[in-house]
Amino acid sequence: MDTRYQSTSIEQKFSFLSSVPEEGASGFITDFSRSKELQKISHDRIPGGAHTYAKGDDQYPEMSPAFLVKGKGCHVWDVDGNEFIEYGMGLRSVTLGHAYEPVVEAAYQQMLLGSNFTRPATIEIEAAQKLLSLITSAEMVKFAKNGSDVTTAAVKLARAYTGRDLVAICADQPFFSTDDWFIGATTMTAGIPDAIQQMTVKFRFNDIHSLEDLFALYPGRVACVIMEVETADAPKGNFLNEVRQACQDNCALLIFDEMITGFRWAVGGAQALYGVTPDLSTFGKALGNGFSISALVGKREIMQLGGLQHDRERVFLLSQTHGAENHTLAAAIATMTIYETEPVVEFLDRQGLRLKNGILKIISENGLDEFVEILGKPCNLIYVTRDRQKNRSQEFRTLFLQEIIKRGVIAPSFVVSYSHTDEDIDRTISAAGEALVVYRKALDEGIEKYLVGRPVKPVFRKYN
Ligand SMILES: Cc1ncc(COP(=O)(O)O)c(C=O)c1O
């Protein structure tokens, strides 16, 4: 690729990145002084200091890079010039790597032709055809910008199609939307009318009886079941097929939220891997390698209620100014082409497994098997930290984050990308190994001796 992305002004702006920051006396990354200055400004101007809660200060230790300025592959640089290997990049949206050149180039070429016109651009059809060719259950698609746009649209479409009002969500899964139908079912219900809260009901993952009980409790009222196919918990036995059948028997729609699983579990999504066909499904995150794009896909008979070729009441389905931004669609086409032609899914699994095995070995060597767990599919690893009493612990999560950050790794999860090389993985294993030695000492001697500042907190809580 040519050099136009490294324009002089960008270089000047971030010139400090080329000077290697001074290491602390210990050799660890300890200088976050510019980050600390910017934190004061950001909290004054932005509620929470960030535009996405999951990136916020309450999710990270005090000794951490608060602002990043550049990413390349799986490496990022903070505002103090510190370099890190990053995991879970862009909240799992950056599957290929930061500033991934074929994707950036495709977006750039499209930008030269214009970003947004008065009538649809031809690339809207091109992107639709590409996505529909990859997802077997998808007969029609509408693009949007965020995952929440499309999960909310799926729920609305299901309500319109069935003429029912209740939404059944999986209680064990963490997130479906920033909109009230979902946030109203969390502990952060401020600003959400009670009437809306009452319309979302919950069932348990891998517990078909809990879903059947809902259908029995609310006969003829459940419009849809929305769930992820798999999170850290894998579906057991015939659970997914039983959910499919229960929806069919009760005339409710089945929506698979594939925001995380799409293009990561398999190119055709987790639905392809498990061979279960939903009525509607939603994709985002990996679809654009960090560009803002999401998609609602599904059966024609349902999707076309948002269109012009039916006699039923019209559904206002996803109509946004930036819904089909041309260069984002170009980025998505380039990204999907890479998933189709390169072994991305296999690579994510392989690197995740290398990382998991390496860290599990160190966990055992330090006698931490009952205190640190690595969960999930290799392509989407998370970890759980426990205290001396073996209870889940935010303090110990913070300590682990603090110690691994010190050693040059930002790992709120261990979610890998196509850019995590063997060397990156091995450096991470070594950093995690040292962090776990400190974890062991903190268990034995008391965490207050090792943790700097306050612990992290869960996003969903009623008060600060
Ligand atoms: C499973 C799942 N569904 C939906 C969403 C919402 O997507 P977005 O943040 O793009 O609105 C998320 C976001 O993390 C998610 O993980």
Which atom of ligand 1 is nearest the CA belonging to 54?
Answer: 14
C-alpha pair distances (Å), 290 with each of 93, 342, 425: 5, 18, 21
Nearest CA to ligand 1 atom 14: 175
Residues with CB under 6 A from ligand 1: 91, 146-148, 151, 175-178, 228, 257, 259-260, 284
User: pLDDT tens digits, residue range 128-168?
Assistant: 999 999 999 999 999 999 999 999 999 999 999 999 999 99
Best probe residue, ligand 1, of 179, 285, 322, 328 (max atoms within 8 Å of C-beta): 285
User: pLDDT tens digits, residue range 101-116?
Assistant: 999 999 999 999 999 9
* Residue 230 Cα to ligand 1 middle (Å): 14
* HSE of 197, CA atoms in CB hemisphere, 13 A: 11
User: pLDDT tens digits, residue range 270-309?
Assistant: 999 999 999 999 999 999 999 999 999 999 999 999 999 9
Q: Are strands 166-170 and 372-375 parallel, antiparallel or unpaired?
A: unpaired
pLDDT at 27: 83
pLDDT at 140: 98
Which atom of ligand 1 is nearest the CA belonging to 294?
Answer: 10
Residue 120, phi-psi category: left (phi > 0), alpha (psi -120 to 50), beta (remainder)? beta
Low-confidence ranges of the chain (pLDDT < 50): 1-5, 7
Best probe residue, ligand 1, of 259, 283, 287 (max atoms within 8 Å of C-beta): 259
* Residue 145 Cα to ligand 1 middle (Å): 11
What whole-number distance in Å separates Cα of residue 405 and Cα of residue 395?
Answer: 15
What whole-number distance in Å separates Cα of residue 95 and Cα of residue 88?
Answer: 9
Q: Are strands 140-144 and 294-298 parallel, antiparallel or unpaired?
A: antiparallel
* Residue 175 Cα to ligand 1 middle (Å): 6
* Residue 370 Cα to ligand 1 middle (Å): 31
Whole-prediction pTM value?
A: 0.94
Which atom of ligand 1 is nearest the CA belonging to 148?
Answer: 11
* Residue 148 Cα to ligand 1 middle (Å): 6
